[in-house]
Chains A and B, each alone.
Chain A
C-alpha cells in the first residue's frame, strides 16, 4: 500500500476516457461500481466541455455482486449500441470490476455486436492514467487502422503527416495542435489525421495514408506510433517542439524527412522569446535557480528552455511518470542535477525545500507547494486545474508557444520582485499595513491598525454587542466587510444603537438578494 493524499495521475481507465472523450463516434462501456462517474466532471468542469463524455458505466452495486453483473454488462452494451449508435465500442473494467473477474471482452464478443468492439486490458493496480491513454489509443489504431491504405504518389501532392498523442484533458493540447499545424503548413507539410483528439473511426482508418508520424505527446502517442512504424513503415518524428531551439530542431527534422528546405521558415524568426530574452530588462533572469517537475516530456523540454533560452540555472529536475524516467535522467545529467523520479508529492516538496529555488516550474501540485514555501511558480504540465484550460489561445508548442512560456514564467518572477519590495518596505512609513493607500492622503490609514472588519464604518453612535461581533467574525473575510456595512446601515436606518445578534440577521434578511 502507498499512503497518498495527492495523485499526479488518475487510474488507467481515466486515460481511456481521455482518449474516448477526445474522439468522435467512439463510445466507452466501463464495467464499474456506482460512483466512478465522478470522472465525468473532470471533462465537463475542468476542461469545460459542453457534452457528456461518451462513457457508459454499468453501475453495479453490492446486491448485484455474485449474480448478475455480467448480465448487467451485456444489457448495458445493447443499450449503448441502440442509444448512441457508435462507430466503435471500447469495453473495459475499472479497478473494482477488475477484481470481480467478469470478462468484458469475452462477454461482448459473444453478443456479436454489429460494430467493432475494442477490449481494453488496463491493470489498475499497476498502471496509471497516461499509460491507460497510450494503451487505449494503441488498441484503437490496431483495430481500426486500415492496412490497405498507403500514401498516394508523392509527386502529386505535398508531404503528409499524422499528429499523434493529443487527448481530451490534455494540457494545452487544443492550441498546440493549431500551432503545430500552422508551422507544418508554412514548411510545406499537410496534416493527414490528428488523433485521438478530434478524430473519428474513419480518420483512424486512413492513418496509413501519411508519409510519417509526428508524436506530439510521447506519453500518449508513442505506443501507437511504434505500431504504425511496424505495420505501415511510417517514420516517427519524436522531437517535441517546446521552446525556440526545440521548435527549430523539429522543423529541421521534418524538413530532412520530407526533403524540404527549412531555411526560409527558420529565417522568419517567428518567436519574440529570443529578443525578449536578450533585452536588458531580462538581465536579472541570469542564473535564476529553477526547479522543474512534471510529466517527463514537459519537464525535459522546460529544462532546455530554462537553461538555453532564459539563462536560468536548473537546480532540480524530475518527473512523476516512471515510463519517461530515462529521458529525465539523461537531461538531469546534462544540467548536473540529481534526477527526481517519484509520484510522492511529499518527496517533491522536500526536494524543493532543499533546493531553495527562486522559481518552480511544475504541475498544479507544485504551484501549491511553491505557494506554501513562498516561491514564485508557473505551470508547465498536467495535472492542472480549471484555470489552465484557458479561453485565450495559449499553446506551449512552436514559436507562439515560446512567447507564452516567456510571459508565463517571467510573470511570477516580476510579481515576486514586487512582493519582495513591498515586504522590504513593510516598516516604511508609507508602505506599512496601517498606512493605507497613499493616494488617499496622509490620514487615510489612521483607523486601520486594528481589525477593520469589526470597527464601525462611520462615526455613528452604533456599537456592536459582543455576541454580534463574534458572529460577524464567523462570516468569511471576503464578505465580512460587506456584512458589517449592511448591518450598520440597517441599524442606522432603524435607529438601532446597539447591534445585537438579531440585528445582524435582520439586516441579512433585509438585504437578501
Chain B
C-alpha cells in the first residue's frame, strides 16, 4: 500500500535507516498472549469477549493444550448480543457467573477485549468494576484489550501486565529498595535469575507477574524495575508513573545481554562491579562453552527477521555479536526506541531495520536476498521452505526458555537446528 519511507536515523543518533511500512501484516493479535500468560499465573482465568474467530484463533494457537482444562475461554457474541448494549452486559454477567460456579478455584478473572468488543464499544472496564464488586472478595476482576486492532502478539502481555500495575500494593517513600523483574518468564528461568540476584547481593526481588496474581509485588519510589522482555512499553510507563525507576540495559539474551542486564541491576543497587564479575564468571564461562558448539554452524550465515514479537532486535544482536551471524533485515512490529537504545547501539553498523509490515513486499525482499535463515510465522514458514529457503518459526521463541546464561546454548540451537536439518536430509 504506502511506499516504504526510508527515514534517516543518523539525525536521531542511532545506527541504521529504518524501513517503515504498512500494509498486510502476517502477525498474531494480542489474544495469543493468553496461551503463555495463563500457564504463568496459576490462579487466573482469561475470558475473551469476542467472536467465533477469537475462539478459533485461541484453539488454533493453543494446539492440544486446549484439552487440559485450560484457564481461558471465549464468550462468543451472537447476533442478539449486537442488538443492544444493555443486553450484552447482562449476558456477560450470566457467563461470568456460570464460569465462576464451574471453576471456584479461580482468584483473578481477566476480561479480555477483542476487535468485535472494541468496535461495538462494549465497556469491559465498567463490566470488570461491576463484576469485581459482585464477586469480591473471592475473585478480583480485571480487564485489558488483546484485540488485533490495538495489539500485536506479545503486546497482549504488555496490556495484561499494565492492567496489574494499578493493583500493586503501595510502598512508602521510606520502604527499603526493591527490584521487580517485569515480563513473564518460564519458572526455571525465573528461578535462575533469583539465585543470581541473591548471589550478587540483591535480596528483595519480585516478579511481575508472580505465579499467583494474589502475590503482586509492591511498588513505590524506592522500586527499581528491570524489563525482561522488550515489548512492555505500557507496563513500564505505568510503573514509572507510580514512582518506580526503570533500569536501562540490554535484554538478557546470550552472555553479553545477560551480563549487561545483571550488571545494570547491580549498579542500581550500588553493588561493587568486581564482586558481580566474580559471581558471573563461572556462568559466563559455561555459557560460552555451550555457545561454542553452535558458533561453527552459524558464523557467517545470513539471517532475515520478519516482524512478530519485538524480540527480533535483541535476538539479532545476540546472533550477530555472539555467534557471528550476518544480519540482513531485522523486522519488528513496533520499535520502542527508549527501551532499545542500548540494543540499537550494540547492533553491528548498517543493519537494515524495518518497522511494521507489508508482507508481500517484505517477501519480495526475502526472495531477493535469499538469506540462509528466515525467522517468520507459521503461515509463511512452509511456503518459504517450499521455495528452498530455510526458516525458523518465530513463535517457538516466545514459548521456549531462552533468557539467561544457561539457556544461551539452547537459544543458539533453535537457530542452528533448521540449518543442520537442511544439511542432513537426502530426499
Contact = CB atoms under 8 A, between A and B. Distances in A.
Interface of B is mostly: helix
Contacts of B385: 50
Contacts of B26: 37, 40
Contact of B56 (A14, A51, A510): A14
Interface stretch (A122-130, A182-190, A427-435): A122-130
Given A10-B52, A41-B379, A96-B119, A58 B24 contact: yes
Interface string A49-80: 11110001111111011000000100110010
A124 B52 contact: yes
Contacts of A385: 63-64
A509 interface: yes
B382 A50 contact: yes
A478 interface: no
Interface string B384-422: 011000000000000000000010011001000000000
A35 B56 contact: no
A156 interface: no
Interface string B280-295: 0011001101100110
B383 A1 contact: no
A62 B51 contact: no
Contacts of B79: 123, 125-126
B95 A512 contact: no
Contact of A52 (B149, B383, B406, B410): B383
B118 A1 contact: no
A438 B64 CA distance: 34
B270 interface: no
Contacts of A52: 379-380, 383
Most-contacted residue by chain B among A38, A44, A100, A128 (CB, 10 A): A38
Interface in A444-492: 471, 474
B381 A44 contact: yes
Contacts of A3: 73-76, 95, 98-99
B1 A509 contact: no
Interface stretch (B27-35, B235-243, B344-352): B27-35
Most-contacted residue by chain B among A2, A48, A75 (CB, 10 A): A2
A99 B119 contact: yes
A279 interface: no
Nearest to A507: B286
B150 interface: yes
Given A125-B79, A368-B67, A510-B289, A96 B95 contact: no
21 contacts: A1-B81, A1-B91, A3-B76, A6-B59, A7-B76, A35-B31, A35-B148, A38-B28, A38-B379, A50-B386, A57-B24, A62-B150, A65-B149, A94-B53, A95-B51, A96-B119, A96-B149, A128-B52, A372-B67, A509-B287, A512-B413
Given A44-B378, A44-B381, 8 more contacts: A1-B78, A4-B74, A11-B51, A36-B148, A38-B32, A49-B382, A50-B383, A72-B1
Interface of B: 1, 23-32, 49, 51-53, 55-57, 59-61, 63-64, 66-67, 70, 72-79, 81-82, 88, 91-92, 94-95, 98-99, 115-116, 118-120, 147-150, 152, 187-188, 195, 282-283, 286-287, 289-290, 293-294, 360, 377-383, 385-386, 406, 409-410, 413
Task: List the 5 closest pairs (A to B, CB-CB), nearest first.
Answer: A35-B29, A35-B148, A50-B386, A40-B379, A512-B409
